[in-house]
Structure 1
């Protein structure tokens, strides 16, 4: 994990004690720092690092994930007539 501050402070915020920054900003900054690499290659490296870093429970999820999970759970839960 990189300990150097590669992200401007104004692009950082804290969620549940974890300092985070937007994915698009990371890719833009790293692409600018490594102009010989394609944006696709930079994204691939960032995603690979994200997968290695986030192998545990996620700190946050998009609201759409919760909505989709609720929809799936609603479809999988049979109606109970004995309640």
Structure 2
């Protein structure tokens, strides 16, 4: 897993606005079920859940195999959480 970096702060892009998100949470998100809620070319936007039950929206690119390049992430909004639950009931 790699991360997009902010040029000014030299931090991963998601940390610029959401410093309370930890790198371990990404592994949890990608290990569990995710719901893709948007796609533009190779860029996917998906909602996932951490082992602690926290929902995050992640924008990323799949780079073959298990490798993903995370562009950014943020805490998920209520409407997207409801969508995740609806999709999980279908599975």
TM-score, structure 2 length as denominator?
Answer: 0.24
Structure number with greater CO (CA < 8 Å, separation at least 6) is 2
Structure richer in helix, relative to its length:
1
Q: Which has the larger radius of gyration?
A: 1
Structure richer in strand, relative to its length:
2
TM-score, structure 1 length as denominator?
Answer: 0.26
